[in-house]
Amino acid sequence: MEIVNKNSYNSVLRHHLKIRQNNWRPESTFPLVLWPYYATRTTYAENYFVRHTHYECWIVCNVEKGCLQVISNGKVHLVKEGETILMPPGPHTFTAVNGETIQRTLGMEGHLLRLILENLSLADCIVVKDFFTEEYEALFEEVYHLLGKRDETDAPRLSLLAYSILMYAARFVPRKTLPYEVIMSQQFIQRNLFQKITLQDLCKEAGCSRTRLCILFRQYTSFSPGDYIIELRHKYAKDLLATAPHMPIKLVASYCGYRNQLYFANDFKKRTGMTPSSYREKIQKKSDFRDEIFKNDSSV
């Protein structure tokens, strides 16, 4: 079943809209695990609005001038000049209020987007201050430039920039329940999940001893650092197997930090009771069954 995003906007003020946008999705086999799909600079006239009934992108919107009313998943947010809104996938509406509004917006997508957002505590809509620093501007401008080039040799760099932006955004999420050492370790794991991670690496990043880090992980995540990494890798693997049906198992293993496909398959079966291929087939059958029910219900 294909979910269609229906857009609507204020047609009376449409001719006042000023937009400079670069967007691109590679047509090659490059796996879009995480991808900055578009970057825009937009000017809205007062009362101009854009509404999306379904949206799969995570959005960063910086208001440079004016005030923007945002309705995201049914909740209303007022984003003032100098503020930034971080929005999860879902229905939303942007409306310029109290005069002209100028904003920079970046939209991100990918097979692992929702899982990464959840793990970085970015799955909710929040409004933050002081987000648009020189560091973020450099990231935005590079994404904008590379999307405009549409050069497939830039695809790995764009994917890496997407990760960098998510990690940057994660700094602005209120984290009152987790100690600094756990937060820094989790972010390090997210950035390096595709490669070998040692306890020594985590201790260096967190700035604490092995004993303290293990105690904190047990206390706040119910896992040891090693088990936490394995648990996260298997969550990623399940998500990739479900959302990227044509991605080779070997590549799934690589993205989840396994250099050996056979070891990955054995470890996956030990934890789930089925091979990666069997798991993918099971998920696909469930999806096909739901689509058939939806089709039958729609025809009644």
Domain ranges of the chain: 7-170, 180-284
The pLDDT value given to residue 242: 82
**pLDDT at residue 12, rounded to an integer:** 66
Cα separation values, 247 from 108, 230, 254, 255, Å: 20, 21, 11, 11
Predicted local confidence at residue 43, as pLDDT = 93
Q: Say what the pLDDT of residue 21 is.
A: 92
pLDDT of residue 4: 38
CATH number of 180-284: 1.10.10.60
Q: What is the pLDDT of residue 299?
A: 39
CB 82 within 8 A of CB 102: no
pLDDT lower than 50: segments of the chain = 1-5, 289-291, 293-300
Q: What is the pLDDT of residue 11?
A: 67
H or E stretch covering 218: helix 210-221
pLDDT at 165: 95
Dist CA 200 CA 177 (whole Å): 24
Residue 8 is predicted with a pLDDT of: 66
CA dist., res. 100 & res. 217, Å (int): 48
**Owner of token pair 């009362």:** 47
Residues 6+ apart with CB under 8 A from 246: none
What are the helix and strand counts (H, E) for the chain?
10, 9
Topology of 7-170 in CATH? Jelly Rolls (2.60.120)
Task: Evaluate whether 136 touches 39 at the Cβ level (below 8 Å).
Answer: no
Task: Give me the pLDDT at residue 3, please.
Answer: 35
Q: State residue 225's pLDDT score.
A: 94
Which two three-digit tokens encode residue 196?
């070998």
Provide the whole-model pTM.
0.71
